[in-house]
A and B are shown apart, each in its own frame.
Chain A
Amino acid sequence: MPTPVSNARACLAAEAAAALDDAVAVARRRAHVQTTSLHVVYALLHSSSAAAPAGGSGGGAGTSSAASCPILRDALSRARSSVYSPRLQFKALDLCFGVALDRLPSSSSGQRQTGEVGGDEPPVSNSLMAAIKRSQANQRRNPETFHLYQQQQQSAAAGGASSFPGVKVELQQLVLAILDDPVVSRVFGDAGFRSTDIKFAILRPPPPILRFPRATRCPPLFLCNFSAGDGFEAALTPLRPVLPFSPAAGHLCSDGGDENCRRIGDILARKEGGRNPMLVGVGAGEAARDFHLAVERQNWTILPPELRGIELLSIEKAAVELKPGSVDLSSVDARLEEMGRKGEAPGVVLNIGDLKDMVDGNAECDERERCLVSELTRLLEVYHGRLWVMGWSATYETYMKFLSRHPLLDKDWNLQLLPITSVRSGKGGSLTRPPSLMKSFVPLGGFFPTAYESKDPLLSVHPSSRCQHCDEKYEEEVSIILKGRSASVDQRDARLPFWLHQSNKVDLNDGSNAAKAEDDKTILNAKIMELQTKWNQNCQRLHNSCQRITDNFSGIPCALDPSCVLGVERACNKGSENPDETQNQRGFGTSLTMSVGTQKISMASQSISLPSVMEPRNKDLLSKLQVKFSKSEQLQKEGFQSYQGDDHASPSSVTSVTTDLVLGSLPESLSKEESPASKVKEGPLKEHFSCLPSADTVKTNVSGVPVSSFAYSGCHDSWAKSIYPSIPTQLSNGRTSTSDKPLLISSSIGKKFGLSNYKSFCKSLIDKVGRQEDAAIAVSQAIFHCRAGERRRGANWRGDIWLSFNGPDKIGKRKVAAALAELIYGSRQDNFICIDLSYQDGVARPNTICDQQEVSENDVQSRGKLNTDLIAAELRKKPHSVVFLDNVDKADPLVQNSLSQAIHTGRFPDSHGREFSINNAIFILSSGRTQGQNFSQKIDCNSFCEETILAAQSWQMKIFLEPSQEHISSSSKSNKVSCASSQELRYNQVYLQTDFSRKRKLDVYDDCNSHCETLISPKRARTVSKEFLDLNLPVEEIEANDHDSSSHGEYSKSQNSDPWIKEFFDLVDATINFRPFDFDALAKNLLKDISHIFCRAFGSESLLEIDQKVMEEILAVAWSLEDRGALDNWFEQVLGRSIIKAKHWSNLSSHHNVLRLVACEDASVDKYAPGVLLPLEIIIN
């Protein structure tokens, strides 16, 4: 039901109504039945095109109401794509709308004649009315933009809104709503516009300056185009900063001084609570001075109205010089009384200045200070409401010290702490840095300091803000120096700081002198600095007010620099608002931007190189946190810690230099620090050697090495025999041939899982895994149970199976899962998803052998992705698969959520809420925790524990050749190859933290098998000490750290996921426990092989000593490899050859030799041997 035009018009503000009228006119002319959104847009385009010559000339809308603004046209010109020329695109738009309008049904002439009386106007269509309603609602909801809009369009529209109760729709809102109309946006789309772009362009009007009628094109969006944000008024008022950015730069230099004053004022104006401000912060002194200045200049606008007319007395000087405080205070007293009588001013603020001055005084001063404080307390009580106290302190410590000297003073005085954090830019340096340093960045663009410093001279004009006595003397001396150079020396003026005066003279009267001044500047500066330091010392000794003097001084070198004189002068005269100065700044600005290019580059390179230097130590710090992963980077870590120690001891050495210097000095200090540390390390090492002969006697724990109670089957081929008894039905060997083929069971078919299939399945699973027979059987059982429909969970039948693998042998678990994938779905590539949940975002995974062997392909894709999404993505790719999630106990809450939902609903949601069916998937959740049986003690007793093997990285290996030493005779009974076992490592761990020297004696050497005699490896001892002994840190600290991190880890684990994981594991179809892997047996096996090779090459006289690290590497490889072939190859090809090479090397001394195979922990492997993550070559040394 169309709406009469008059009704629609009533909803619109003047402009919009005019637009509607235009639209109605268009509709009437075209004899259309209704006025639609298209008409409005068409009318808008044409009314504006009358103004803008670029537009098409068609139609001749004629009405061209004056009120309609080119809002749409303007937006279009900004929203259009840059591919086409504007002319073309607008032409296309015109055509599109023309065609669209032509398609609309036109009313028959008869209808028109019989129309109602007012019906000359085609009524407003429903869609347009809806748009109007929408915009109305929108506007009502958002009164702010309404007002904003009104403010900007200060035209006739302003009056309209208030007189009518309903909301009058503004043109902008109307246009926005119409753009939502699908018909309209389709037409725009035809013409190559996107209505969202147009809307955006309307919502974000161009910067105000562009709204001037002249600005037809939009310049590039750079800073200089923007005003300081004040909108029209700012741009129109010539006195305010007019030109957009550069004055804003002057503005930007505004350091929050006003803001600070306002805050101080707010506190002073408080009725209750702390009403006496105590400024704390590096910029507090400045803030206090700013406030002082504001009061002095009677700049009331930044203070609350009730404080207007306040007075500020500074007793800073009195406090500093510690004259009897009562003198000053009595004057305050008198002044207050007088004021009380007249009742004119709101009161007096007493500035006690820097607390440091009060705190640092000696005993005699204390007395006076106490006097002053108590007097003040009394006055505050008497003149409550009219007397304020304010003070400041650069650091919190000073304030606390002050409070500790006067306990409860903060209550007595009603002090309110006010943190001051903004620091004036140029000033930040001058407060703490000598002027020479400040000058160092003057060349960077001389104008910066001038701009920043412009206030300093002003500040120092004020007598109260400095120690006058010293200042005067200092000035005298400086002026004497100056007198020597410049002809006319005026004595200091009472008001103006003398150097300004001075430089005026130089500048105006004697130009040549100015040039000379520049020449002599360095000498002069040196002299002045000398003076400055002298007087600083004097002043500090006498009056504790060096701070203020430095402030004054910092201006001096600047003022003498002729280029700066102008700036200072002007600043003095007019302050920073001066337009001239801003122009001046702009001039500099342009010159700077030219040079920026190169400077920027150097900047970038600098900032890049800085992190790269810091990288190693950072990494080490991290590794400290990662308890598990700590072993491999001890060397670097130590380096870092020693550096840290250095940092603590003398931070200034590192930090006082500039960044460049830091870059240079960092590595230096590192290496320097390292050398003593390594020397110390050497010490115990030698001792170790010397006590080696006695090692035999220490061998006590031989039988103490408990071999895992499970029969070790390792990588032998003979494992199969051992499992037959445990399989319910004896399997005939003949069947294995069939079971080797993948069973290819589609998940929906359950009947294939018959008993006979079960047997073969079980057999082939065990076949593939090679160990963990019990677990494999359990897995097979569980799967067959599930497939047979004996579901533990849920009444509705689902295809997904959930298993949880508990216990150690990470690799074994993964192997079982992979074998399952192969057996059930056909392929371990396409049907196996393996994600370790302990890693997040694909963040730098440790470079361990065990990990590298497995995960590599999806590393890049997973970077920056959440684990949930990773799993979901994989599931989408491979719906028929085994999903093996390692370390479920470390799953993040998102994954936990998703898993919970998946197990309940059968659909796995990702972080965006999309869900993926898991009907054909087998989820295997693996965690290191064990349920029921506890294997942990057994793990503990092994020489090699799973953690260390998991952490093993592939390092470059080296063979050291050593001529025989006497200790060989003691231990060279029969054996050739020895390996330092990790038993002593554990003992060391225990003892090291308490007492290093004791530990050395308590080293327990064990001998894990009868063939291979174990010889303590000195290398090992060293690595142990590297790991735990940090000479640069006190013992307690290490312990504390250790404790911290461990408890930390435990805590987070138990807090985060414990309840969840328990709950979740109750839901799974079956829980399978895994046994620990017997690394000792594997090691024994490997050693036997190595010894075989070694014997062949060297004969029985020599010894090969294998470092623990190397052994771990080899073990890790052997553990994670599918079959031993590659490793055996490596033994033959690489190790064997290297040993032979070493033999040639050592031919000169053919008698007893000791070869040591060690890992170089600073070099990772360049080239890997084929098939194994072990080095292709071993360095022989």
Chain B
Amino acid sequence: MGGNSNNNNISSAVGSGNSNAKLLQVLNVRVVGSGDRVLVLSHGFGTDQSAWNRVLPFFQRDYRVVLYDLVCAGSVNPDHFDFRRYTTLDAYVDDLLAILDALDVDRCFFVGHSVSAMIGILAAIRRPQLFLKLILIGASPRFLNDGDYHGGFERGEIELVFAAMEANYEAWVQGFAPLAVGADVPAAVREFSRTLFNMRPDISLFVSRTVFNSDLRGVLGLVRAPCVVVQTAKDVSVPVSVATYLKDHLGGRTTIDLLPIEGHLPHLSAPSVLAQALRRCLTCHHR
């Protein structure tokens, strides 16, 4: 850990930003749609950009939609995941900003799910001008309980989860996927299991540790962009109190959009409900 970061493999090249084209390729960046406004869809932990497939058609007419994979996604070559670089969320933010720069996006709407919501928050802090609006789905600034803050998880529980992941990843996936999807939508469970299992287990564990070690509570106030917190009625990962916490602490004008559906992955389990909600969030920014 001494920090000999002058490794010569590809992953360092990804970060250096000298080869944006390569980054776009590595992270499977896709731009679809024909609108004049740019919409970035950023998937969360355990999924990849295919998670947005069912939501995507709703936006292709009016938006230029940027899709990409987080470096930890199963669809990205695991060789690109540098365990020294992706120790904090900031590295993911670098990726996101590099992508947007490479695509010459100067302002965009950002939709982020779970981890990506955190990434979006950090990106908006770093580049306030870039983001017109953040839509945070299943977002949490901190997953662990801490004093007055109720994040939904105890450290001990989490360690158990990690241990379970470590012991038998497949079994863990089988158990976790239905829990996360929440709603009784077998197709969504199947899809989430697939993408979740696509992740290499060590990467998956590493990323979840990174996520659980992140604490954004101190910096929420730095966000200037208006935010919409999209929260489902029942989410195993994010209690509703977190949404109100976000609303209270995010620096921009923030609203909560509670969806009458269940689960942590509304874009899989109830795509059109989510799409409607997103459209609503996106269009009413003038007010």
- A residues touching B (Cβ–Cβ < 8 Å)? 144, 147-148, 151, 221-223, 226, 228-231, 244-245, 248-249, 251-256, 258-263, 280-284, 299, 301-302, 393-397, 400, 417, 419-425, 428-429, 432-433, 440-441, 444-445, 448, 575-577, 589, 592-593, 596, 599-600, 603-604, 606-608, 610-611, 614-615, 617-619, 621-622, 625-626, 647, 651-652, 654-656, 658-659, 662, 840-841, 843-844, 863-864, 866-867, 892-894, 897, 911, 1048, 1051-1052, 1055-1056
What CA separation (Å) do A841 and B275 show in the bound complex?
11
Closest chain A residue to B279 by CB distance? A1056
Complex interface: chain B residues within 8 A of A394 (CB)? 218
21 contacts between A and B (CB under 8 A): A221-B201, A223-B202, A248-B202, A255-B87, A262-B3, A281-B216, A282-B142, A302-B5, A395-B217, A421-B88, A428-B144, A429-B146, A429-B155, A615-B234, A621-B258, A651-B148, A841-B185, A864-B185, A864-B186, A864-B188, A892-B276
What CA separation (Å) do A844 and B233 show in the bound complex?
12
Q: Is there a chain A Cβ closer than 8 Å to B209's Cβ?
A: yes
A140: min CB distance to chain B, Å: 14
Q: Are B166 and A223 in contact (CB under 8 A)?
A: yes
Complex interface: chain A residues within 8 A of B149 (CB)? 655
Q: Are A445 and B5 in contact (CB under 8 A)?
A: no
The one of B26, B88, B179, B240 that contacts A260, using a Cβ cutoff of 8 Å:
B88
Closest chain B residue to A441 by CB distance? B156
Q: Are A395 and B221 in contact (CB under 8 A)?
A: yes
Complex interface: chain A residues within 8 A of B163 (CB)? 445, 589, 592-593, 596, 599
Q: Which of B229-284 contact A (CB under 8 A)?
A: 233-236, 239-241, 244, 251, 258-261, 269-273, 275-276, 279-280, 283-284
Q: Is there a chain A Cβ closer than 8 Å to B200's Cβ?
A: yes
The one of A393, A397, A604, A614 that contacts B239, using a Cβ cutoff of 8 Å:
A614
Complex interface: chain A residues within 8 A of B167 (CB)? 222, 593, 596
Q: Which of B111-167 contact A (CB under 8 A)?
A: 118, 122, 125-126, 142, 144-150, 152-157, 159-161, 163-167
The one of B87, B182, B236, B261 that contacts A422, using a Cβ cutoff of 8 Å:
B87
Complex interface: chain B residues within 8 A of A606 (CB)? 157
Given the interface contacts A255-B87, A600-B164, A864-B188, does A840 sit within 8 Å of B283 by beta carbon?
A: no
What CA separation (Å) do A914 and B5 show in the bound complex?
51
Complex interface: chain A residues within 8 A of B57 (CB)? 893-894, 911
A1039: min CB distance to chain B, Å: 17
Q: Is there a chain A Cβ closer than 8 Å to B109's Cβ?
A: no
Q: Are B233 and A621 in contact (CB under 8 A)?
A: yes
Interface residue count on the B side (C-beta < 8 Å): 109
Q: Which of B34-42, B44-52, B74-82 contacts the other chain?
A: B74-82
Q: Which of B1-47 contact A (CB under 8 A)?
A: 1-6, 9-10, 22, 25-26
What CA separation (Å) do A9 and B156 show in the bound complex?
61
Q: Are A282 and B22 in contact (CB under 8 A)?
A: no
What secondary structure prevails in chain B residues at the interface with A? helix
Q: Are B87 and A596 in contact (CB under 8 A)?
A: no
Complex interface: chain A residues within 8 A of B70 (CB)? none
A101: min CB distance to chain B, Å: 36
Q: Are A228 and B83 in contact (CB under 8 A)?
A: yes
What CA separation (Å) do A245 and B167 show in the bound complex?
11
A1001: min CB distance to chain B, Å: 36
Given the interface contacts A226-B200, A397-B221, A655-B149, does A618 sit within 8 Å of B240 by beta carbon?
A: yes
- B residues touching A (Cβ–Cβ < 8 Å)? 1-6, 9-10, 22, 25-26, 54, 57-58, 61, 78-79, 81-85, 87-91, 118, 122, 125-126, 142, 144-150, 152-157, 159-161, 163-170, 175, 179, 182-188, 200-203, 205-206, 209-210, 212-222, 233-236, 239-241, 244, 251, 258-261, 269-273, 275-276, 279-280, 283-284, 287
The one of A221, A245, A258, A844 that contacts B166, using a Cβ cutoff of 8 Å:
A245
Q: Are A148 and B83 in contact (CB under 8 A)?
A: no
A646: min CB distance to chain B, Å: 12
Q: Are A603 and B283 in contact (CB under 8 A)?
A: no
Complex interface: chain B residues within 8 A of A621 (CB)? 233, 240, 258
Q: Are B155 and A258 in contact (CB under 8 A)?
A: no
Q: Are B270 and A840 in contact (CB under 8 A)?
A: yes
The one of B79, B88, B150, B170 that contacts A654, using a Cβ cutoff of 8 Å:
B150
What CA separation (Å) do A281 and B222 show in the bound complex?
10
Q: Are B88 and A259 in contact (CB under 8 A)?
A: yes
Given the interface contacts A421-B219, A596-B160, A1052-B283, does A222 sit within 8 Å of B276 by beta carbon?
A: no
Complex interface: chain B residues within 8 A of A614 (CB)? 234, 239-240
Complex interface: chain B residues within 8 A of A252 (CB)? 83, 205-206, 209
Q: Are A444 and B205 in contact (CB under 8 A)?
A: no
B226: min CB distance to chain A, Å: 15
Complex interface: chain A residues within 8 A of B216 (CB)? 281, 419, 421
Q: Which of A421, A440, A445, A654 has the most CB of B within 10 A?
A: A421
Q: Are B155 and A603 in contact (CB under 8 A)?
A: no
Complex interface: chain B residues within 8 A of A608 (CB)? 179
Q: Are A622 and B233 in contact (CB under 8 A)?
A: yes
Q: Are B218 and A863 in contact (CB under 8 A)?
A: no
What CA separation (Å) do A420 and B179 show in the bound complex?
31
Q: Are A223 and B218 in contact (CB under 8 A)?
A: no
Q: Are A607 and B179 in contact (CB under 8 A)?
A: yes
Complex interface: chain B residues within 8 A of A422 (CB)? 87-89, 210, 213-215
Closest chain B residue to A896 by CB distance? B61
Q: Are B87 and A655 in contact (CB under 8 A)?
A: no
Q: Are B83 and A248 in contact (CB under 8 A)?
A: yes
Given the interface contacts A258-B84, A282-B217, does A428 sit within 8 Å of B146 by beta carbon?
A: yes
Given the interface contacts A421-B90, A422-B87, A592-B163, does A400 sit within 8 Å of B215 by beta carbon?
A: no
Complex interface: chain B residues within 8 A of A626 (CB)? 260
Complex interface: chain A residues within 8 A of B280 (CB)? 1048, 1051-1052, 1056
Q: Are B3 and A299 in contact (CB under 8 A)?
A: yes
Q: Are B58 and A894 in contact (CB under 8 A)?
A: yes
What CA separation (Å) do A606 and B236 show in the bound complex?
11
What CA separation (Å) do A256 and B244 show in the bound complex?
28
The one of B22, B215, B269 that contacts A283, using a Cβ cutoff of 8 Å:
B215
Q: Which of A148, A259, A440 has the most CB of B within 10 A?
A: A259
Closest 8 CB pairs of A and B: A396-B221, A256-B88, A655-B150, A256-B87, A302-B3, A419-B219, A864-B185, A282-B215
Closest chain A residue to B248 by CB distance? A648
Q: Are B234 and A256 in contact (CB under 8 A)?
A: no
The one of B1, B91, B146, B175 that contacts A577, using a Cβ cutoff of 8 Å:
B1
Q: Are A445 and B88 in contact (CB under 8 A)?
A: no
B258: min CB distance to chain A, Å: 6
Complex interface: chain A residues within 8 A of B155 (CB)? 425, 428-429, 441
Q: Are A1052 and B219 in contact (CB under 8 A)?
A: no
Closest chain B residue to A281 by CB distance? B218
What CA separation (Å) do A222 and B164 show in the bound complex?
12
Closest chain A residue to B26 by CB distance? A144
Complex interface: chain B residues within 8 A of A223 (CB)? 165-166, 169, 201-202, 205
What CA separation (Å) do A1057 and B281 show in the bound complex?
15
The one of B202, B270, B283 that contacts A228, using a Cβ cutoff of 8 Å:
B202
Q: Are A445 and B159 in contact (CB under 8 A)?
A: yes
Complex interface: chain B residues within 8 A of A576 (CB)? 1
Q: Are B122 and A421 in contact (CB under 8 A)?
A: yes
Q: Are A607 and B236 in contact (CB under 8 A)?
A: yes
Q: Are B234 and A841 in contact (CB under 8 A)?
A: no
Q: Kindly list 4 other residue pairs between chains A and B, CB separation below 8 angstroms, not including A302-B5, A864-B185.
A: A230-B83, A425-B155, A647-B244, A652-B148
Q: Are A841 and B146 in contact (CB under 8 A)?
A: no
Complex interface: chain A residues within 8 A of B118 (CB)? 421
Complex interface: chain A residues within 8 A of B244 (CB)? 647
Closest chain A residue to B59 by CB distance? A893
Complex interface: chain B residues within 8 A of A867 (CB)? 272
Complex interface: chain A residues within 8 A of B210 (CB)? 256, 422
Q: Which of B57, B118, B155 has the most CB of A within 10 A?
A: B155
B80: min CB distance to chain A, Å: 9
Q: Are A658 and B87 in contact (CB under 8 A)?
A: no
Q: Are B272 and A866 in contact (CB under 8 A)?
A: yes
Q: Are A841 and B88 in contact (CB under 8 A)?
A: no
